[in-house]
Amino acid sequence: MPERVTLAFSGGLDTTYCAVWLREQGWRVDALTVQTGGFDADELALIERRAREAGVASFQVADGRQRLYDEILRTLIAANALRGGVYPLCVSAERVVQAALVADHARQSGATAVCHGSTGAGNDQVRFDVALRALAPQLRILTPIRDQALSREAETAFLAERGIHIPPRTTRYSVNRGLWGVTIGGGDIHRSDAEIPESAWCLTAAPESRPAQPEECTIAFDAGAPTSLDGRALGGVTLIEELNERAARHGFGRGVHVGDTIIGIKGRIAFEAPAPLTLITAHRELEKLVLSRGQSFWKGVLGELYAAQVHEARFFDPLTADLAAFLHSSQRRVTGDVRVRWHQGALQVVSVRSPFSALGASSTYGEASQLWSGEEAAGFAKIYGVGDQLLSAVARRQVE
């Protein structure tokens, strides 16, 4: 009996190559597609056809969207997580859930190995390897793309020789699409001086296709978690899916991220994240209304650290759970409504309200206060500046 391997199968160029190559090496290949929000029914049908075309022994789809939201995305919202101040971790969060479900499938099926299609020059290889070793250390990890260092052209030719033809768009760019957005890499995108061609974007509307009129939406949050759109109660997964669709129609969510990778080199990707950027922008404005200065400061520091843990394949470090506990504790009063407006690729926060608002509580900034008198304010300002006054005097004596 041939040994069994569970293949994390997306139906793209790399994993299709893996399926064929493993089968030709004598493995029984069980293909598992983990649905983390990137595939509609037609795409899932296409992925299954491609898996059958590649000759896999079995094909299954595992839905990981709710697990992704519950275990990671909700915390990324609480953290206002944006890598480099721009990128909402579209891919890294998904890899944890994908690896976990692949490991579960391998154990249940009696496989002796798991396989992923990551290259040797990106972050995903580390994310999959670390997660799989943490969750199923007894399984071998097979990585044909990394081991063979093949070009996308070589993989395409290999498959074409066997009658499997991958569309040119798939071979030109490496596209990862999920609930938390899309990342696009490859080709000229790796060059910092290259503009992203319009043909590369796959989720957001092109400028000429965007509505002429703006669209508004009210997002309700309860203890930091989004719970409804325009008064309609929605689960987290459904809410994100609808926001992605609505914001994408207006071309909102495009960006480019350049940053440090796990493997020590700089990387550049394009991304489309309509829902994440809408939610994080709205959530951050609501927090400004209700959190204390200290909470806001430490949330910024520890939220960035949590995002780094997820992005840099440290999700299973106990520190990550500790950080998540702090972030969720900070959300006790992050409840209220945020009204946003999309128009021609931009997002504007129109209004924010919360029953826990600290704005205008007995005082109006720059106008009047019921909490102190003018004389008390003058005394405060005098005492507040004493330190600077004394140090300035010392500096003048030093000059003299």
Nearest to 215 by CA among 343, 306, 123, 117: 343
HEC profile for the chain? CCCEEEEECCCCHHHHHHHHHHHHCCCEEEEEEEECCCCCHHHHHHHHHHHHHCCCCEEEEEECHHHHHHHHHHHHHHHCCCECCCECCCCHHHHHHHHHHHHHHHHHHCCCEEECCCCCCCCHHHHHHHHHHHHCCCCEEECHHHHHCCCHHHHHHHHHHCCCCCCHHHHHCEEEEECCEEEEECHHHHCCCCCCCHHHCCCCCCHHHCCCCCEEEEEEEECCEEEEECCEECCHHHHHHHHHHHHHHCCCCEEEEEEECCCCCEEEEEEECHHHHHHHHHHHHHHHHHCCHHHHHHHHHHHHHHHHHHHCCCCCCHHHHHHHHHHHHCCCCCCEEEEEEEECCEEEEEEEECCCCCCCCCEECCCEECCCCHHHHHHHHHHHCHHHHHHHHHHHHHHC
Q: What is the pLDDT of residues 112-140, one digit of tens each?
A: 999 999 999 889 999 999 999 999 999 99
Q: What is the pLDDT of residue 150?
A: 87
Q: Where are the chain's structural domains?
A: 4-170, 181-353, 368-399
pLDDT value at residue 22? 98
pTM, to two decimals? 0.91
Q: 382: which 2 tokens?
A: 């005098």
- CB within 8 Å of 208: residues ≥ 6 apart: none
* CATH of 181-353 given 3.90.1260.10, 2.40.30.110, 3.40.50.11260, 2.40.480.10: 3.90.1260.10
Query: Hunting for tokens 């890598």 — which residue is that?
Result: 83
Look-up of token digits 């957005």: 181
**What sign has the CA pseudo-torsion 110, 113, 117, 121?**
positive
Strand pairing class (58-63; 232-233): unpaired
The residue ranges of the chain whose pLDDT is under 50 are none
Q: What percent of the chain has a predicted confidence (pLDDT) above 70?
A: 96
Which residue has tokens 């840099």?
312
- Pairwise CA distance, residues 381 & 399, whole Å: 27
The 10 Å Cβ neighbour count of residue 359 is 13
Give pLDDT tens digits for 282-319. 999 999 999 999 999 999 999 999 999 999 999 999 99
Q: Are 22 and 54 in contact (CB under 8 A)?
A: no
One CATH from 3.90.180.10, 2.40.50.140, 3.90.1150.10, 3.40.50.620 for 4-170: 3.40.50.620
Q: How far apart are CA 187 and CA 196, in angstroms?
A: 10
pLDDT given at position 376:
86
